[in-house]
Structure 1
């Protein structure tokens, strides 16, 4: 410290640096938490039907036609209380092919089908995998927590890779 400089200047600077650091941590922590919440929210719309199948109609769909963003086919029930349907809709993705049969769960009160089984569970959580990858960048850059960022990034990469391999 320079003798001519008062001690309060150094203290005021330390307080302002600490306040800025706290603000950065709070802001980036909030952004990372919102990204992860959005990933869970985006996944839960499909994941709840696949993971909580008790009382839901389960069966198989043989895809007969794909047009636009949906594929359709007849529904053959497996669970008790389910009824056969001439046509249900399955969201078209790279993993749904015409002529193939898929295990599905019907959303209550609709003719919308969601893939079930391990492939369906992993596929339903793909938005969370993307959110984990994005949050890892925020955690590494904004919070400067590199180990936590690596864990988030690797979890996201493992989830996305396993979902890709499972739906093939």
Structure 2
């Protein structure tokens, strides 16, 4: 027969269980917070461009034929497509691997400026690239810190799909 456990040993066992539960909760809360901050940062970084591409009602839409690239930007004449938009001799488009001199792109102008953002499927996907990177980074935190492997694979898959689609379309 096993002798009864002394009261002090039982109290110590309960204390260890309570402290491990508190540490587990702290880990989940901290890593969950980190993952949420990473995702919010990805949305925030993407929204600066995506708002112009997604919410086009009332914005000037048209095409720009890129004539010159240099210094991190490309420029060219703007031909309006939407009603109320006016032709311009020069609008500025961010220089990236997706913009080349001599090509024509559909764009949306940022209100009150001559800055243009690519529109259409290529513009939408390119605008959300920072979110794709944030999904990939947050998936590592979710898998390692939260130990939610399936959720991490879903996040990583969504991030890779977004980045791959943007690469292929742009």
The correspondence of residues 135-150 of structure 1 with structure 2, limited to 5 A, is 135-150=138-153
1:164 to 147, 162, 167: 167
- Residue 76 of structure 1 aligns to a residue whose secondary structure is strand
Gaps of 5+ in 1: none
Q: Which residue of 1 aligns with 2:23?
A: 20
Q: Which residue of 2 aligns with 1:50?
A: 53
State the Cα distance separating 1:6 from its structure 2 match: 1.6
The correspondence of residues 2-151 of structure 1 with structure 2, limited to 5 A, is 3=5, 6-151=9-154
- Residue 69 of structure 2 aligns to a residue whose secondary structure is strand
Q: Which residue of 2 aligns with 1:154?
A: 157
- Residue 6 of structure 1 aligns to a residue whose secondary structure is helix
State the Cα distance separating 1:3 from its structure 2 match: 3.9
Q: Deviations over 1:33-86 (max 9, x none)?
A: 000000000000100100110000000000000001100000000000000000
- Residue 107 of structure 2 aligns to a residue whose secondary structure is strand
**Could you list the runs of 4 or more consecutive aligned residues of structure 1 that deviate by over 2 angstroms after TM superposition?**
1-5
Gaps of 5+ in 2: none
Give the TM-score, by structure 2 length: 0.96
Equivalent-residue separation in structure 1 for 2:58 and 2:23 (angstroms): 52
Give the TM-score, by structure 1 length: 0.97
